[in-house]
Structure 1
Amino acid sequence: MRIAAERHGDPPGRASSPLARGGAVLVAGALPVLAFPEPSLWWLACVALVPWLLILRTAPSGRRAVFEGWLGGTGFVIAMHHWLTPNLHVFILVLGALLGLLWAPWGWLVRTLLGGSPSAARGVAAVLAVPSGWLMIELVRSWEGLGGPWGLIGASQWQVDPALRLASVGGVWLLSLLIVAVNTALVLLATSRAARLPALAGLLVVALAVPAAWLWAPRPDPSGRTRVAVVQPGVVNGIESIERRFDRGEELTRSLAGRDVDVDLVVWAESSVGADLIRRPDLAGRLAALSGDVGAPLLVNVDARRADRPGIYKSSMLVGPEGLTGGRYDKIRLVPFGEYVPARALLGWVTSVGEAAEEDRRRGTRPVVLELPGDGLRIGPLVCFETAFPDMSRRLVRDGAQLLVAQSATSTFQGSWAPEQHASLAALRAAESGRPMVHSTLTGVSAVYDAEGEGIGRALGTKESTTAVYEVPLAEGSTLYARFGDWPVYGALAVLAGLSAVAGARTFRPSAQGPGAPRARTVRGSSGRPRD
């Protein structure tokens, strides 16, 4: 028992109480959230997992490690989504506990590979498998039904130039892998002399990945410029807020007509139009007149019951001086509880304790690339939550989009970390795809990024009601991530499959003494005790 405690549990005489350990695990699990906006302590991500890993490696049993993996995951989810509390109320705890289960097997994996004093071989396995296990968690929870890929640890590096270059190679997935690998290597350096060499090798690989990506990864090639105006009406309250928001957007847009600088596209935010434009030709006429006054098409977002099919859709639509251009994109991926209630028959009670959707929105069927009349610029629209999904922007670029445009609304979460976190995702999507991206919101934060993820001009904060024109450099060519997609995910799967195969081979390896092997003879001494 003493040997087992020294290998995997707390050192003899220093065992902490389960309650104290549980509290420490909750805090350790929540710690990485500080690397994201609004704190934006990006550098913290490289060490933020170390406390949690140190606790997991000293778990007194595998069952305890599973429990502490779940508990730390619960802390991470609640901290990452704490701004949802006013909407979900007590259900935020349920959400955290359910999603936290994804980290339970990871806790066991960490204890198995980092517990005690790992050998060099176990150190190599840890540097490869612990990050791979974390990436599998991110992959599973990226499913829309589980909340989508919000808070992927790689996304914390959205304003770090070398990280954005790495994102162009392997997307946010590669960033997550490398960040967790660094944390794992630091734990090995601190706890095992035998595993220091693989730990140092892991850190060296990460360190070399940055200049390699900087020097050899293809960069987007300049291909002209376009001027995009972002209209941010700001917070509008009251019973008739939808109409007032439209009026304010109209007023701000009209102000563009008196400027010396021409614009090529005007972008309104998500839910900027609250009625179907086919049913309301008066609204469509006002938008067409605006387009004519400004001399540019308007990309609006309609959140309304459609006239041509049943249900409510969120749709990105182009309006020119002649009216609707015929281009339309219906949002595909919806926000769980915010725009639909999963398994409503079972979970419909959530609407009585929070601000969940009273009626499910309907989904579109496919991504759509819209072409601007006149200059033929091809834009790839995304609506709100969809900017969190790397595959969606990649698909639009592969379909020919030259400019990514996100229409969003985080009005419900004013004063929280959500607006900054949401805007930061556009930088990653731009860097991954090698295309500039416009992130337009109702109430901020609105921002524009070039094809390498660098910010253009000034972002519009959550207290502003204004419009801004951005000179956006266009780009062509293809990033490695756009070409090869989620290859870090497949690599992580291969690592875990290989580790499982090795572990299985060792478990089921035949004994050296088969059925026909001679048995060792026991010699008894004069005292009658067995003697070898």
Structure 2
Amino acid sequence: MSASAVRARRLAALLLGVAGTTGLMWLFGSLEARWVALGWVAFVPWLWVLDRASSRREAVLGGVAIALSFTAALFGWFPGALQSYSGAPLALCWLALLVLAPFMELQFITFALARHHLRKAPQEGPLAFWRVTLTGALVYVGTEWLCPKLFAETLGQGLYASESLRQGADIAGAHGLTLLLLVGNECVLAAGKVLVAHGPRAGFRRALAPLAVLAALVLGGFGYGQLRYRQVAEHKTQEPELVVGVVQANITKYEKLAAEMGTYDVVRMILDTHYQLSDALLQNRKLDLLVWPETVYPTTFGTPKSEVGAEFDAEISAYVTQRRVPLLFGTYDLEQQREYNAAMLLGPGRDGTLARSAYRKTMLFPLTEWVPESIDSPWLRERLPWTGYWKRGPGPQTMALPLGEGRSLTLAPLICYESIFPSYVAEEARRGAELILTLSNDSWFSGTPAPKLHLMHAAFRSIETRLPQVRVTNSGISALISPTGEVLTEVPDNHRASLALAVPPTPHLSTLMVLWGDWLRPTALLLSVVLLLVPSRLARWKASR
């Protein structure tokens, strides 16, 4: 067979393996319970391709190919959303996504390289298999920490659709589930190879070890999940439920509306709509807290830029005073010419005055909300006029919500993008938070899978901290999330509604994620370096003696 024919066959095998894994991961990533089992086999076609790689170049090619395919399949909605936001040509948005894909999904490439390197080492037997398996999984997870992703996705998030398996995220986050899935896939591949090579009868005994490990991972995950689920369900407290009113007005694209109606009329419409929906709640039930979404008041509060702005500020304050209900809403906060995306809490103070406190968003979405000062320039602003001007807040904070009778509740405020960062939320939990309260604006992604994915991220933060969560968005998906990650109530995407949510008392269960934060990924990176370098260094040292 000619060299060109061999290369063609290798390329065909690569494309087949990449296509198989991409299709399985696409189904697994749909977050539907019927596809959960695919997570344990999704990587097998691609791993089979990597085992056939004869050089580092082929291993890298396999990593790049799956990075491109994975990104296009699971984030194919993003170029359209980016075009809608920036006005750039759709083809250019697609090109940007695909060019960045190998960097955003670098873990595929480093995993492929590490696995190829270890498989070429002169070792055989079970020890070699487990070294390849564990080191590859650690490299994968460690790379995801070393090179943070725009959407913070990881393979283990697909297990959210399993009520039991997702509970393991309180140990090491969704990345801990990723580690288990990678090991499980290696076990499936090893068992399959043995059965194919030796036949069902002779190969079954050799396949017992990897199959036993796979069974232990799955059954152990289910067992732990059921244990933690029961612990949360059985927790009882004498504290009353907290009633939170949420408003999802489904008013989007403020800039377009302002151009058509004028800024004053748009703000007037936004506030009047939220007043109306809020009053509908207050007429039927007493609320402990009323929440409006991120940037619902699209100007600075407390430092008005005009007389009209001062009138709107006074109107919102008067609404809180007259209804006698605390209000948390998204706005801008201004200090010394530095503007922040903020959550403002207004409520009756103990001395009869209106108390005010603000939380400033720290984790800003790159470019659209924040530009690093090192690259910010008139040249950049001229070419990317949609870039944001907000400054970063001081980091994780908590807010105290007075409840009357001397009681108060400690809130963990989050704004939009911050809900995808496990360590950030864990730090707020360590500060005594009893309820996660997320304000978000997902309107630019309405009609895509993004609102569902963002909700899934938020649910993992509740699992990791064992805290209930109220999530309020302007266009969806607003929700009440339990400490087990279950969405108890939701307002779908692109709907208008207001709900009174009865938040269950906090279970006060400790988790490793709260104690140590996002501990697994840096640990995985360190261990992977040790496992990759130490054996070869020892071999060289022994050879030199």
Confirm or deny a common fold (TM above 0.5). yes
Deviation string for 1:287-340 (max 9, x for gaps)? Answer: 233334544211101136x1x322331111101256762321100111112212
Corresponding position of 1:312:
339
Aligned 1:498-509 pairs, distance under 5 A: 498-505=530-537, 507-509=539-541
Deviation string for 1:401-452 (max 9, x for gaps)? Answer: 1100111111011110101110111211111101101111100011111122
Corresponding position of 1:132:
138
Structure with higher helix content: 2
Is 1:263 aligned to residue 287 of structure 2? yes
Work out which of the residue numbers 439, 460, 464 in structure 1 matches 2:471: 439
Whole-Å separation in 2 of the counterparts to 1:203 and 1:48 = 14
2:77 counterpart SS class: helix
Unaligned runs of 5+ in 2: 84-92, 196-202
Whole-Å separation in 2 of the counterparts to 1:328 and 1:170 = 31
Work out which of the residue numbers 10, 14, 18 in structure 2 matches 1:21: 14
Work out which of the residue numbers 150, 165, 172 in structure 2 matches 1:147: 150
Corresponding position of 2:361:
331
Whole-Å separation in 2 of the counterparts to 1:499 and 1:450 = 39
Deviation string for 1:483-518 (max 9, x for gaps)? Answer: 233343355245424422443146415449x8xxxx
Q: Which moved more, 1:227-236 or 1:406-415?
A: 227-236
Is 1:204 aligned to residue 215 of structure 2? yes
How far residue 257 of structure 1 moved from its aligned partner, in angstroms, is 2.1
Q: Is contact 1:114-1:188 (8 Å) kept?
A: no
Pairs aligned (count): 496
Whole-Å separation in 2 of the counterparts to 1:24 and 1:468 = 47
Q: Which structure has the greater CA radius of gyration?
A: 1
Corresponding position of 2:86:
none
Q: Quick one: structure 1 residues 201 and 126, their matched pair in 2 at CA, closer, same or farther if it must change by over 3 Å?
A: farther
Q: Quick one: structure 1 residues 122 and 246, their matched pair in 2 at CA, closer, same or farther if it must change by over 3 Å?
A: farther
Give the aligned residue type for 1:152: T
Q: Quick one: structure 1 residues 430 and 222, their matched pair in 2 at CA, closer, same or farther if it must change by over 3 Å?
A: farther
Work out which of the residue numbers 233, 236, 242 in structure 1 matches 2:249: 233
Deviation string for 1:369-419 (max 9, x for gaps)? Answer: 111123411111001011000111111111011100111111011110101
Whole-Å separation in 2 of the counterparts to 1:276 and 1:163 = 44
Is 1:44 aligned to residue 38 of structure 2? yes
Q: Quick one: structure 1 residues 127 and 465, their matched pair in 2 at CA, closer, same or farther if it must change by over 3 Å?
A: same
Q: Quick one: structure 1 residues 100 and 258, their matched pair in 2 at CA, closer, same or farther if it must change by over 3 Å?
A: closer
Q: Quick one: structure 1 residues 449 and 56, their matched pair in 2 at CA, closer, same or farther if it must change by over 3 Å?
A: same
Work out which of the residue numbers 288, 293, 296 in structure 2 matches 1:272: 296
Give the aligned residue type for 2:345: L
Q: Quick one: structure 1 residues 349 and 96, their matched pair in 2 at CA, closer, same or farther if it must change by over 3 Å?
A: farther
Is 1:119 aligned to residue 151 of structure 2? no
Give the aligned residue type for 1:337: L
Q: Is contact 1:447-1:460 (8 Å) kept?
A: yes
Corresponding position of 1:527:
none
Q: Quick one: structure 1 residues 345 and 494, their matched pair in 2 at CA, closer, same or farther if it must change by over 3 Å?
A: closer
Q: Is contact 1:257-1:293 (8 Å) kept?
A: no
TM-score by length of 2: 0.82
Give the aligned residue type for 1:42: V
Q: Is contact 1:126-1:184 (8 Å) kept?
A: no
1:122 counterpart SS class: helix
Q: Give aligned-pair identity as a percent.
A: 24
Deviation string for 1:18-62 (max 9, x for gaps)? Answer: 367357536735752432347674333222222221212211312
Q: Is contact 2:330-2:344 (8 Å) kept?
A: yes
Q: Is contact 1:70-1:107 (8 Å) kept?
A: no
Corresponding position of 2:370:
340
Whole-Å separation in 1 of the counterparts to 2:160 and 2:382 = 34
Q: Quick one: structure 1 residues 486 and 202, their matched pair in 2 at CA, closer, same or farther if it must change by over 3 Å?
A: farther
Q: Which moved more, 1:64-73 or 1:390-399?
A: 64-73
TM-score by length of 1: 0.83
Whole-Å separation in 2 of the counterparts to 1:349 and 1:23 = 42
Whole-Å separation in 2 of the counterparts to 1:489 and 1:446 = 30
Q: Is contact 2:381-2:387 (8 Å) kept?
A: no
Corresponding position of 1:300:
329
Whole-Å separation in 2 of the counterparts to 1:378 and 1:341 = 32
Whole-Å separation in 1 of the counterparts to 2:276 and 2:159 = 37
Q: Quick one: structure 1 residues 211 and 423, their matched pair in 2 at CA, closer, same or farther if it must change by over 3 Å?
A: closer
1:263 counterpart SS class: coil
Corresponding position of 2:97:
92
Work out which of the residue numbers 401, 407, 418 in structure 1 matches 2:450: 418
RMSD: 3.3
Corresponding position of 1:251:
276
Q: Quick one: structure 1 residues 252 and 122, their matched pair in 2 at CA, closer, same or farther if it must change by over 3 Å?
A: same
Q: Is contact 1:28-1:49 (8 Å) kept?
A: yes
Give the aligned residue type for 1:303: Y
Corresponding position of 1:175:
177
Q: Which moved more, 1:70-79 or 1:267-276?
A: 70-79
Whole-Å separation in 1 of the counterparts to 2:222 and 2:539 = 41
